[in-house]
Amino acid sequence: MSVAPLMDPRVAQLIDANLDRAREGLRVVEDWCRFALDSEDFVISLKDWRQRLGRHHHDIYKQARSIDKDQGIGLSHPAQKGRHSPLEIISANCARVQEALRVLEEFSREPDPDLSKNAALIRYGLYELEVKILKASISMRRQEKLQQCSLCLITSPQKDLIRKVAKALTSGVKMVQFRSKKGADIDNFLQAKELANICKQHESLFIINDRIDLTLAVNADGVHLGQNDLPTKVARKLLGNEYLIGRSTHSLNQIKAAEDEGCNYLGVGPIFATPSKPELKPVSTKFIHEAVHKAQLPWFAIGGINNSNLNEVCLAGAKRIAVLGAIMNAEDTSQASLELLKGLQCKSK
């Protein structure tokens, strides 16, 4: 490979700066993929790009470096102080690399065509990889939140739904499942959208019952499916890997099937009789004992659970519960949520 010997020193300095910028940004993204996502495929691609740019970082560029005369040294932007999350840092560094590669592509086209070609190839490759990295990061964050959940609130249609859910979230509920038997009408969408925003404000998961279209429309964290709903494979194809998929299970065989299909969490029950699912026969706390030893995924005991029987559910081995009436039918949803969370915390010790 050849570099024009009579290169304008200003161009050489510019190329040097942008090679540094691109390689540094790639390293930031690479380390996130290595230590946080544990993704060998992502790391291999990023390391290869970084090494390829390193091979093009010739002495003629490094010798043109003049830090004392660089007017950009030490300059910052308020946007840099607004990067609080890993995703914001990753997005910013991907943009930094892409911008630097574009500069390299333009200014090295004549003096160093091989660098220009590689800069273009890496830039387009990063456009695609960035999307995969962000989706994998979102999936990881949702999985982490799921692991931390002990109480899932299932909603029921009522006039003051938003207020009740907001109070429950303020009390510490970290997962809300929106259940509505309405069709795809505008009121249903607007209600789900408002709940999704409230859940995000409280760093809580928002799950849609049954409806994949609504899950995507309001950018919920996932969907919960019953035994007669879409197959997990179809749901995963429509949603992608970054969304959570839950499945209701009523037997050990159904638990095994849901895990084999790639679900993220399970509903186990109904433990007791429940007005919301009168057609299902209660499986009793015996099923909890079985799930404790067989289930590999996070699971929520569900069905008729309230403060009066919570002790029995916890003694059977349940660490997570999902409730509807125990909170939604309470006069004070905040107090009801606090009592259930306190009961779960005490029984888990």
Tens of pLDDT, residue by residue over 24-40, are 999 999 999 999 999 99
Quote the distance between the C-alpha of residue 332 and its chain's center: 31
Are 128 and 176 in the same domain? no
Q: What is the mean pLDDT of residues 229-251?
A: 97
Supply the range of the domain harboring residue 107.
9-67+80-142
Are 171 and 263 in the same domain? yes
Residue 169 within a domain: yes
Residue 4 within a domain: no
Q: What is the mean pLDDT of residues 117-135?
A: 98
Assign residue 203 a region (left: φ > 0; alpha: ψ between -120 and 50; beta: otherwise): left
Residue 74 within a domain: no
Are 233 and 305 in the same domain? yes
Phi first, then psi, for residue 196 (nearest 5°) are: -60, -40
Are 209 and 301 in the same domain? yes
Assign residue 134 a region (left: φ > 0; alpha: ψ between -120 and 50; beta: otherwise): alpha
Tokens of 189: 């969408």
Are 154 and 301 in the same domain? yes
**pLDDT of 233:** 97
Give the span between the Cα atoms of 201 and 197, in whole angstroms. Answer: 6
Residue 157: pLDDT over 50: yes
**What does the DSSP 8-state code read for residue 219?**
T
- According to DSSP, the β-strands at 205-209 and 321-323 are unpaired
Q: What is the mean pLDDT of residues 181-191?
A: 81
Are 155 and 215 in the same domain? yes
Give the span between the Cα atoms of 3 and 286, in whole angstroms. Answer: 75
Residue 163 within a domain: yes
Q: How many residues does the chain have?
A: 349
Q: What is the signed CA dihedral for 326, 330, 333, 334, rounded to 10 degrees? A: -90
**Helical spans, DSSP H, in 36-150:** 40-55, 59-62, 86-107, 113-148
Residue 78: pLDDT over 80: no
pTM over 0.75: yes
Are 164 and 136 in the same domain? no
User: Which CATH number characterizes residue 113's domain?
Assistant: 1.20.1260
